[in-house]
Structure 1
Amino acid sequence: MAPRFLRELVPRREKRAATGSVVVAVKSLTLLQWAQFWSGWLAWTCDAIDFFAVSLTVAPLATQFGKTQSQITTALTLTLLFRPVGAIIFGILSDRFGRKWPLIFNLLLCCVFELGTGFVNTFPQFLGVRALFGIAMGGIWGLSSSSALENLPVELRGIASGVLQEGYAVGYLIAAVINLTLVAKHGWRVLFWTGAGISFFAAVIRVLVPESAFFLRAKEQERARGANTSHKTKIFIKETKEMLKQHWLLCIYAVLLMTGFNFLSHGSQDMFPTYLQTTKGFSPHDASVATIISNWSYSGGAIAGSASQYIGRRLTIVIFVLLVGVFIPLWVLPSSFSALSAGAFCIQVGVQGAWGVIPIQLAEMSPPAFRATFPGVAYQLGNMVSSASAQIEATGAANLKTTIIKNGVPTLVADYATVQAIFIGVVAAFVVIVTIIGPENHGSHFENHKAAFEEGGGRDDAVADNVSQTSYRDVDEKGSA
Structure 2
Amino acid sequence: MFNWYSDLTKPEKRTYWACFSGWGLDAMDTQMYALAIPTLIALWGMTRGEAGILGTTVLIMASLGGWIAGILADRYGRVRILQITILWFSAFTLLSAFTNSFWQLMVTRGLQGLGFGGEWAVGAVLISETIRPQVRGRAVGSLQAGWAIGYGVAVLLSTLLFSTLEPSLAWRVLFAIGLLPTLLVLWIRRHIEEAPVFAQNLREHAADRPSIWAVFDGSTRVTTFKAILLTFGIYGGNYVMITWLPAYLKLALHLSITNVGGYLAINILGSFAGAFLNGWMADRFGRRRTFIVIACLQAIAVAVYTLAPITLPITLVLGFVLGTLQSGTAAGTGAYIAELFPTRIRASAQGLCGNAGRAIGAIMPAMVGVLSAKFELGAAMGLCACFSYLLVVIAALMLPETRGRDLTHVDATSTPATNESAGPMPGNRADSATGH
What is residue 391 of structure 2 aligned with on the other side?
Answer: 430
Asked if residue 212 in structure 1 is aligned to residue 187 in structure 2, the reply is no
Match of 2:402 among 425, 441, 453: 441
Larger Rg: 1
> Match for residue 283 of structure 1?
256
Aligned to 2:353: 378
User: Which of 3, 16, 34 in structure 1 is aligned with 2:13?
Assistant: 34
Pairs within 5 Å for 1:78-89:
78-89=57-68
Other structure's SS at 2:27 match: helix
Match of 2:245 in 1: 272
Note if contact 2:333-2:354 (Cα within 8 Å) is conserved in structure 1.
no
Q: Which of residues 133, 157, 182 in structure 2 aligns to 1:154?
A: 133
Query: For 2:279 and 2:40, how far apart are their aligned partners in 1?
Result: 37
Q: 1:376 Cα deviation (Å)?
A: 1.7
Q: How far did residue 311 of structure 1 move? A: 0.9
Please point out which of 289, 292, 301 is paired with 1:315. 289
User: Deviation at 1:188?
Assistant: 0.6
Counterpart mapping for 1:54-133 below 5 A: 54-133=33-112
Return the offset for 1:475: 8.7
Question: Partner residue of 1:399?
Answer: 374
Contact 1:263 1:386 in 2 (8 A): yes
Q: How has the CA–CA distance of structure 1 residues 318 and 472 changed in structure 2, closer, same or farther, with 3 Å as cutoff?
A: closer
> Which of 298, 304, 307 is matched with 1:324 structurally?
298
Aligned letter for 2:190? Answer: V
Q: Write out per-residue CA displacement over residues 151-182 of structure 1, whole angstroms, 9 at most, x where no aligned residue.
A: 11111111112211232222222211111112
| Aligned residue among 352, 356, 361 for 2:336 | 361
Q: Distance in 2 between matches of 1:359 and 1:206?
A: 19
d(CA) in 2 for partners of 1:257 and 1:141? 17
- What's the CA shift for 1:281? 1.4
Q: For residues 329-352 of structure 1, what are the alpha-carbon distances to aligned partners after superposition, in whole Å with 9 as ceiling and x for unaligned?
A: 541334643221212211221221
Q: Distance in 2 between matches of 1:60 and 1:474?
A: 49
SS in 1 for 2:75: helix
| Contact kept? 1:320, 1:354, Cα under 8 Å | yes
Pick closer, same or farther for the CA change 1:328–1:478 going to 2, 3 Å: closer
Q: Matched residues in 2 for 1:323 and 1:375: separation?
A: 26
CA distance in 2, matches of 1:61, 1:422: 25
Q: Secondary structure at the match of 1:271?
A: helix
Pairwise CA distance, 1:389: 2.1
More divergent stretch after superposition (366-375 vs 122-131): 366-375
- In structure 1, C-alpha distance between the alignment counterparts of 2:353 and 2:71, rounded to whole Å: 13
Give 5+ residue unaligned stretches, structure 2. Answer: 416-424
Q: 1:239: Cα distance to partner? A: 9.6
- 1:110·1:133 contact (CA, 8 Å) conserved in 2? yes
Counterpart of 1:306 (choices 280, 289, 294) is 280
* d(CA) in 1 for partners of 2:103, 2:432: 64
The match for 2:317 among 337, 342, 354 is 342
Instruction: Write the letter of the residue equivalent to 2:95.
Output: G
Counterparts of 2:57 and 2:432, CA distance in 1: 54
Q: Which residue of 1 aligns with 2:419?
A: none
- Cα deviation digits, residues 416-445 of structure 1 (max 9, x gap): 122222222222222212212221222111
CA distance in 1: counterparts of 2:280 and 2:126, whole angstroms? 19
Task: Quickly say closer, same or farther: Cα 1:27–1:48, change in 2 above 3 A.
Answer: closer
Secondary structure of 1:210 counterpart = coil
User: Residues 220-266 of structure 1, C-alpha deviation per residue, up to 9 Å, x if partnerless?
Assistant: 556xxxx6xxxx2xx21369648723111111111111111111111
| Number of residue equivalences | 420
Label 1:209 to 1:367 Cα distance change in 2 as closer, same or farther (>3 A).
Answer: closer
**Partners of 2:262 and 2:190 in 1: CA distance:** 35
Quote the RMSD (CA, aligned, Å): 2.8
The aligned residue for residue 49 of structure 1 is: 28
The one-letter amino acid of 2:365's match is A
Give structure 1 stretches of 5+ with no counterpart.
1-18, 401-414, 450-456, 462-470
Range with bigger deviation, 278-287 or 205-214: 205-214
Distance in 1 (alpha carbons) for counterparts of 2:339 and 2:50:
39
The percentage of counterpart residues that share the same residue type is 22
Aligned to 2:185, which of 190, 198, 202? 202
CA distance in structure 1 between the aligned counterparts of 2:150 and 2:100, rounded to whole angstroms: 26
TM-score (norm 1): 0.80
